[in-house]
Amino acid sequence: MPHLLNNFDRTLANWADANGLPGYRCRQVRKWLFEKRASDWQEMSDLPKALREKLAAELPIWSSTIAKHTTADDGTEKLLLTLAGGGQVECVLLRDGRDRREAGRRTFCVSSQVGCGMGCVFCASGLDGVERNLTAGEILEQFLLLQRLLRPDERLSHIVMMGMGEPLANVENVLTALGEASREDGLGVSARRITISTVGLPPAIRRLAELDCRYRLAISLHAPNDELRTEIVPTNKKVGVHAILDAADDYYAQSRRRLTFEYVLLAGLNDQPHHAKQLARLVGDRHALVNVIPYNPVAGLPYETPSAAAQQAFRKVLTDAGVPIRFRHRKGDKINAACGQLRRNAAKVVSLETN
Ligand code: SAH
């Protein structure tokens, strides 16, 4: 059976053709799913009951099931999904703003692969390698499931491809899903509020530029030179910092979207003032934003979060050099909101139970 969300318009139009259904019914269904956050066919009250029953029997909407739903005090909610196609992934709803009851920033952070093949040494998602790419439908499904967690007065405002996996290793499916997200009659999130975070794969970055994508690009740099970066991000060995920066510059020239460089601060490894100085020299004249993420500890890994003093010292060097910098607040710590952690914990529980 085709997964409706994989190729939404075509799958629905084919079904409509085969069943003699007028085109406006497809538009009604689109509205129910994307705007009215419907959870099943039965809810679509302006479709005839018999039609809803036939659709429910022949065209399932959802392919994954929610294995776990956790909520943190700061309003962060996280879903662990079991996919029909095999494996588990995570996706997160982040609520920003001083009073999280106010209308504010509502960000969805979703996964692009089961596991990850990039092998960044500090990250939970890549510890067991990559199992497979998600389909476009499986990525879109994460958006729709997260949207159902919003209260009626809340609206999705931002999307970040910062969950499990390397989005640019699955670029076509990611772009298909983001196409639905940015469509006016899709999720209606404008491209400038959508960020693709990547370890830095130059051919795929150039593809984004060629396609004239207007998404924001965030490059996970994590080190200011090749030697250290290869230690922290092993795929760097084949690519190199300068090739990535060149591709990122090309993307900037095409998209005019300010680049972001992400930098996970790991105590004693990449958090010293001389690292900050080298980083400032590397990205300083690129009009980019440096997004510093104090390491979020992963059970079993030997890395540590730098002290507040070390974080301040790092920040000061960059600020003094005039580099725009933002420290990412840690959200949802208690619910293991850092990538891949919830899945690992669930896997541990399962293996304990089956042992
Ligand atoms: N593969 C993409 C998306 C990964 S997740 C990429 O590399 O950008 C998004 C960001 O979270 C990346 O910068 C990643 O390095 C970072 N990250 C992963 N695990 C982390 C952890 N335990 N603590 C802090 N940041 C982490």
pLDDT at residue 337, rounded to an integer: 58
Ligand 1 geometric centre to CA of 256 (Å): 24
Tokens 């994989």 correspond to what residue? 6
pLDDT at residue 328, rounded to an integer: 81
pLDDT digits (tens, 9 = 90+) for 272-313: 999 999 999 999 888 899 999 999 999 999 999 999 999 999
DSSP 4: G
What is the position in ligand 1's atom list of the atom closest to the CA of 163? 5
Say yes or no: CB of residue 92 within 6 Å of ligand 1. Answer: no
Least confident interval from 166-170, 178-182, 317-321, 326-330: 326-330
pLDDT digits (tens, 9 = 90+) for 2-14: 789 999 999 999 9
Say yes or no: CB of residue 90 within 6 Å of ligand 1. Answer: no
Testing ligand 1's pocket by substitution, the residue of 205, 261, 293 carrying the most ligand atoms inside 8 A of its CB is 293
| Percentage above 70 pLDDT, the chain | 90
Is the Cβ–Cβ distance between 218 and 198 less than 8 Å?
yes
Say yes or no: CB of residue 204 within 6 Å of ligand 1. Answer: no
Testing ligand 1's pocket by substitution, the residue of 92, 161, 197 carrying the most ligand atoms inside 8 A of its CB is 197
Q: Using pLDDT thresholds of 50, 70 and 90, give the confidence band for residue 130.
A: very high
Say yes or no: CB of residue 295 within 6 Å of ligand 1. Answer: yes
pLDDT for 335 beyond 90: no
**Letter string b/e over residues 229-257, b meaning 16 or more CB atoms within 10 A of that residue's CB:** bbebbebbeebebebbbebbebbbebbeb
What number is the average pLDDT over the span 48-72?
96
pTM over 0.85: yes
pLDDT at residue 349, rounded to an integer: 46
Testing ligand 1's pocket by substitution, the residue of 121, 125, 262, 263 carrying the most ligand atoms inside 8 A of its CB is 262
What is the position in ligand 1's atom list of the atom closest to the CA of 219? 8
What is the position in ligand 1's atom list of the atom closest to the CA of 298? 22
CA torsion, ordered 276, 282, 288, 289, to nearest 10 deg: -10
Q: Mean pLDDT, the chain, as a whole number? A: 92
Could you tell me how far CA 275 lies from the centroid of its own chain?
Answer: 27
Max distance between CA atoms of the chain, in angstroms, equals 69
pLDDT at residue 309, rounded to an integer: 97
Is the Cβ–Cβ distance between 326 and 292 less than 8 Å?
yes
pLDDT for 355 beyond 50: no
pLDDT at residue 351, rounded to an integer: 40
| Percentage above 90 pLDDT, the chain | 85
Mode of pairing for the β-strands spanning 325-327 and 289-294? parallel
Is the Cβ–Cβ distance between 74 and 100 less than 8 Å?
yes
Ligand 1 geometric centre to CA of 221 (Å): 10
Is the Cβ–Cβ distance between 71 and 50 less than 8 Å?
no
Say yes or no: CB of residue 123 within 6 Å of ligand 1. Answer: yes
Say yes or no: CB of residue 263 within 6 Å of ligand 1. Answer: no
pLDDT digits (tens, 9 = 90+) for 194-236: 999 999 999 999 999 999 999 999 999 999 999 999 999 999 9
Least Cα distance to 8 among 179, 252, 153 occurs for 179
Mode of pairing for the β-strands spanning 260-265 and 289-294? parallel
The first and second tokens of residue 285, run together, are: 């004249």
pLDDT digits (tens, 9 = 90+) for 163-177: 999 999 999 999 999
pLDDT for 150 beyond 50: yes
Say yes or no: CB of residue 270 within 6 Å of ligand 1. Answer: no
What number is the average pLDDT over the span 261-268?
98
